[in-house]
Chain A
Amino acid sequence: MYRNIFVSSLVVVTLFISCKKKKPIVENKAYISVSGLLTSQDTLTSYDDLGLKKLSDYNFFKNPLNQLIPASKQIVPYDLNSPLFTDYASKKRFIVFPEGTAANYVSDESYLDFPEGTTLIKNFYYTNKELKTSTSDIILETRLLIKNSGKWITLPYIWNEEQTEAYLYILGKDMDLVLEPTTERTKQIRFSYSVPNINMCKNCHVKDKDLVPLGPTPRQLHREQMLEGTSQNQLAYLLENNMLHNLPTLSEVEKLPNYSDVSESINNRARAYLDVNCAHCHQDGGSAKTSGLHLMYQEQDLYKLGVNKPPVAAGKGSGDLAYDVVVGKPEESILLYRMKHVEPDIVMPEIGKNLVHTEGVELVDAWIRSLAN
């Protein structure tokens, strides 16, 4: 009896000590750099009438899936001259052409007219340098745009913790991330990354009531990229492989500037930045058409670009400022005010951004100053 009590109390004491020992270990691990990827704790639902349950079900990539190595020549990687800012995430993009099909050129600034059955793939990831504790890049999500019976549909997939699979997940999800400093960024960033829900895709992708692709326009694709081991122009590659028709002479196709390229003028860089980050809504037929602020790269009307233009229905987003852009005065420009905030009723772009893009703010600030010259 007494022995039993002794043994059990010993056990309790040991447990207590072991608990005490373990605790500091947990505390020493400063943080988990990614939390919010799918685990066995998440309930996964099949949405058969929307899309396939797993990313691997499409057979786009070889195994292991997270290397994102195309399974065939029909799956062509591409990059853009000026990409959308999404909280510093890197992206790997692919076009999946059905066998024997090709896209048609429409105009330099319009997305290619893709054949029926085309899939556009966009993978959002952070590098292992940015996420200190991981040994390889971490893919958070993969978004698909599929052309089905002439209409585009969107399908969001979220990756699991093991990085072996991504699952169709329509609800959207928040992920807590810690990004380490890089050569461009000097400070560690802790924030919540938001995977949008399936309806939010439409927020940016709807034009004139139809869902459309945004990135793959000739002026965005007009750049060099490593393709089959050699650096080639993406448009030339598509042309050679008979995946693109009716392209004018390559040298005549406009190139959208890369907004990070300091050899370009401030005006060109800022206008490219505003085009890719804002103009998907801020154009005729876009979801911000009622604002009267039009930020397409080719827009020449200063009033439509916001100069001395009062806001229409900005609400708190106006920050008590009078005009979208005040020449020479970035601190009085609503456009910049909204770029500098992340509150949901102020932030621009409205979704997909939880961090202020410091470099973007600096660029647009410089542009507004430069307009005074």
Chain B
Amino acid sequence: MKKLLYILAFLIAGLAILYVVIKSEPTPTYQPARSYIEGQENAILSQFLLAKDSTVIELAEGHFTLKQSLSLDGVNHVTIRGKGMGKTVLNFKGQTKGAEGIRITNSSNITIQDLTVENAKGDNIKVMDTDGISFKHVESSWTGEVSEDNGAYAFYPVLCKNVLIDNCKAIASSDAGIYVGQSVDVVISNNEAFYNVAGIESENSINVKIFGNKAYENTGGILVFDLPGLTQYGSNIEVYNNLVYENNTKNFAKAGAIVGQVPSGTGSLVLSTEGVYFHDNTFKDNKTASIAIASYELIYELGKRDKKEQKEAEDVVGSVRVINDKYTSDTNYNPYPRNIRIGKNIFSNSYLFPTINNDFGKILMIKKPFQTVDVLWDGLEDEASESTICFEKGTETVSFFGLDVLNDFKNATSDVSKYICK
């Protein structure tokens, strides 16, 4: 009888802990003060439609609701300027035409500054095939409680060159807040990204500097991804002087989206990619891991397993950047991370438990109970590569965990000294 009571007490305590752990993944709400004005659409639209080379589109102060996308195509040296974040607001809630808020294509030297873009059906600001795109003091957000119905990307330059995103705010994207895809020569600096699934994401991009940013209360703070089947593969990415904290928001990405695989509680996640250097960042209170390094192979396997679990809809994947089962047929693609360099960073974590609504969290819960992990690595490597990960001298105290998932964690290691940079 006594034994039974013990077991019962144990069970209740266990459930209570579980409840706390699960409950502690917040679903935030972004509710800025707004007073929307309708009826300015044609005036604003005209400015975009009549823009020529060197036009400056000046937008007045006011919170304007628009029913259609604003687009620019084939123009050079054009500036779109408002009266300040939260002062000039372009609100696309309930839009009926086009999926983007602002859409810029085939242009060069475009600057967007001092305004807010919010609530587009798809992406708030998409820029494609453009050389020279700068965002300065731009807020891009979805208002209300975060939801998978929010648009995918707040800032979305893709296939661009010379990208600058500086002093901007990205809020509540159901995929990535600041997202740069398949681009070259990119600076993402001094921004704030919060309440997104991914705060900042560099994907398949080359020569990227990510510094001075604050990424907090996302599911994952700063991600560096390389995905198969695209026009180019990422390399030479430096992540430094960023403040990455409390990225413990519940993952609200659409099912099957690649960022749906990001465990809540992730400070940074590197997925495949060559040449990523982390230094002088502060990672604080990211429950699962401060920096996680994984191969596409692992994500693919995890994705497959998730798929099996969804019994009623067996083939469900779909969405933004999906897990691609054709990746092995892409001969230019390397699914393993290579030359990932960890310099001096500040790591701290006041949480005792990882978030356990994900595989990483469950593994850590079992393998590393009551310990926090600063750098987590799946242990999968490209045999041909000289180095997968390395730690700079002076970082030996980092709490490291290499999982060796391939051999069922047999050779799992916490020994940093094996991976000191040459």
Q: How distant is the Cα of A322 from the Cα of B322 in the complex, in angstroms?
A: 9
- Which of A2-10, A131-139, A235-243, A313-321 contacts the other chain? A313-321
Bound: A170/B322 CA distance, A: 38
* CA gap between A200 and B48 in the complex, in Å: 12
Per a CB cutoff under 8 Å, which of A202, A206, A322, A344 touches B99?
A344
Is A292 located at the chain interface by the 8 A CB criterion?
A: yes
Q: Are B326 and A310 in contact (CB under 8 A)?
A: yes
Is B106's CB under 8 angstroms from A206's CB?
Answer: yes
Chain B residues positioned under 8 Å from A319 (CB to CB)? 318
> Is residue B74 contacting chain A, with contact meaning CB distance below 8 A?
yes
Identity of the chain B residue whose Cβ is nearest the Cβ of A332 in the assembled complex:
B315
- Beta-carbon contact of A344 and B96 below 8 Å: yes
* Beta-carbon contact of A322 and B315 below 8 Å: yes
- Docked Cα-Cα span, A203 to B74, in Å, equals 12
Q: How far is the CA of A332 from the CA of B315 in the complex (A)?
A: 8
Contact with A along B312-338 (1 / 0, CB 8 A): 010111111111111000000000000
Report B96-119 CB contacts with A as 1/0, cut-off 8 Å.
111100000110000000000000
Once the chains bind, are B71 and A199 in contact (CB under 8 Å)? yes
CB neighbours of A321 from chain B (8 A): 315-318
Residues of A close to B255: CB separation below 8 A: 320
Which of B73, B98, B322 is A344 in contact with, Cβ under 8 Å?
B98
The complex places the Cα of A309 from the Cα of B71 at a distance, in Å, of: 29
- Name the distance in Å between A340's Cβ and chain B's nearest Cβ: 15
Q: Is the CB of A200 within 8 A of B158?
A: no
- Cβ of B97 and Cβ of A170 under 8 Å apart? no
Q: With the chains together, A338 CA to B265 CA distance in Å?
A: 35
List which A323-338 residues lie within 8 A (CB) of chain B: 323, 326, 332, 334
For residue A296, give the distance in angstroms from its CB to the closest CB of chain B: 20
User: B319 to A315, Cβ gap below 8 A?
Assistant: yes
Number of interface residues of A (CB under 8 A): 38
Cβ B49 vs Cβ A313 within 8 A: no
A171 and B320 contact, CB distance less than 8 A: no
B421 to chain A, nearest CB (A): 36
**Given that A209-B106, A287-B105 are known contacts, is A197 also in contact with B318, CB under 8 Å in the complex?**
no
CB distance from B314 to the nearest CB of A (A): 9
Q: Are B321 and A322 in contact (CB under 8 A)?
A: no
Is B193 interfacial (CB 8 A cutoff)? no
Residues of A within 8 A of B149 (CB): 316
CB-based nearest A residue for B323: A310
Interface membership of B251, Cβ < 8 A: no
B46 pairs with A350, CB closer than 8 A: no
A199 touches B96 (CB 8 A): no
Q: Report Cα–Cα, A323/B151, bound state, in Å.
A: 21
Output the residue of A287, A316, A343, A350 with the most chain B CB within 10 A.
Answer: A316
A145 to chain B, nearest CB (A): 15
> With A200-B71, A209-B129, A292-B229 given, is the CB distance from A313 to B318 under 8 Å?
no
Measured between C-beta atoms, what is the minimum distance from A263 to chain B in Å? 36
Whole-angstrom CA separation of A239 from B74 in the bound complex: 35
A199 to B103 CA separation, bound complex (whole angstroms): 11
Could you say which residues of chain A place their CB within 8 Å of the CB of B71? 199-200, 202-203
B350 within 8 A of A: no
Q: How far is the CA of A184 from the CA of B9 in the complex (A)?
A: 72
Q: Which secondary structure dominates chain B's binding surface?
A: loop
Q: Which residue from A198, A292, A322, A351 sits with its C-beta under 8 Å from B49?
A: A198
- What residues on A are CB-neighbors of B230 within 8 Å? 312
CB neighbors of A among B227-256 (8 A)? 229-231, 254-256
List chain B residues, Cβ under 8 A from A313.
152, 320-321
CB-CB < 8 A to B322: which residues of A?
A: 310-312, 318, 322
* Identity of the chain A residue whose Cβ is nearest the Cβ of B158 in the assembled complex: A290
Interface residue B121 (Cβ < 8 Å from any Cβ of A): yes
A345 interface residue per 8 A CB criterion: yes
Cβ of A351: which chain B residues have Cβ within 8 Å of it? 97-98
| CB contact under 8 A between A199 and B73, given known A314-B319, A351-B97 | yes
Q: Closest chain A residue to B181 by CB distance?
A: A313
In the bound complex, do residue B45 and residue A197 qualify as a contact, i.e. CB atoms below 8 Å apart? Answer: yes
Q: Of A203, A314, A319, A322, which is in contact with the most chain B CB atoms at under 10 Å from its CB?
A: A322
Q: A170–B42 Cα gap in the complex (Å)?
A: 10
Contacts of A314 in B (CB 8 A): 318-320
A172 in the interface (beta carbon within 8 A): yes
A320 to B46, CA, bound (A): 37
- Are A199 and B315 closer than 8 Å at their CB atoms? no
Q: Enumerate chain A residues within 8 angstroms of B50, measured Cβ to Cβ.
A: 47, 170
Shortest Cβ distance from B107 into A: residue: A209
Tell me which residues across on chain A come within 8 A of B128, comparing CB atoms. 290
Contact A315 B97 (CB under 8 A): no
- In the complex, B95 has a CB within 8 A of chain A: yes
Minimum CB–CB distance from A310 to chain B (whole Å) comes to: 5
Partner of B122, one of A171, A310, A322, A345: A345
Say yes or no: is B159 at the interface (Cβ < 8 Å to chain A).
yes
In the complex, which residues of chain B have a beta carbon less than 8 angstroms from the beta carbon of A334?
318
Residue contact B317 to A310, C-beta cutoff 8 Å: yes
B68 and A320 within 8 A (CB)? no
Contact B97 A311 (CB under 8 A): no
Contact A316 to B254, CB < 8 A, known contacts A310-B324, A311-B318, A345-B122? yes
Q: Determine whether A233 belongs to the interface, using a CB cutoff of 8 Å to chain B.
A: no
Determine if A194 is an interface residue (Cβ-Cβ < 8 Å). yes
Q: What is the CA–CA distance of A172 and B67 in the complex, to the nearest angstrom? A: 12
Among A170, A194, A318, find the residue whose CB has the most chain B CB atoms closer than 10 A.
A318
Which residues on B sit within 8 Å (CB–CB) of A202?
71, 73-74, 105
1/0 per residue, CB under 8 A from B, across A154-182: the answer is 00000000000000001110000000000
Q: Does A206 lie within 8 Å of B229, measured CB to CB? A: no
What chain A residues lie within 8 Å of B106 (beta carbons)? 206, 209
Shortest distance in angstroms between A351's beta carbon and chain B's nearest beta carbon? 7
Q: Which residues of B contact A203 (CB under 8 A)?
A: 71
Q: Is B289 an interface residue (CB 8 A)?
A: no
Residues from chain A with Cβ under 8 Å of B45 in the complex? 171-172, 197
List the 9 closest A-B pairs by CB distance, nearest first: A318-B318, A345-B121, A345-B99, A322-B317, A202-B73, A322-B315, A199-B71, A345-B122, A209-B106
Known: A171-B45, A316-B254, A332-B315. 4 other contacts (CB 8 A): A197-B49, A309-B326, A322-B315, A345-B151
Sample of 28 A–B contacts (CB below 8 Å) = A170-B49, A171-B45, A171-B49, A202-B73, A203-B71, A209-B129, A290-B182, A310-B324, A312-B321, A313-B152, A313-B320, A314-B319, A315-B123, A315-B175, A316-B122, A318-B318, A320-B319, A321-B317, A322-B315, A322-B316, A322-B317, A323-B315, A334-B318, A343-B121, A344-B95, A344-B122, A345-B121, A345-B122
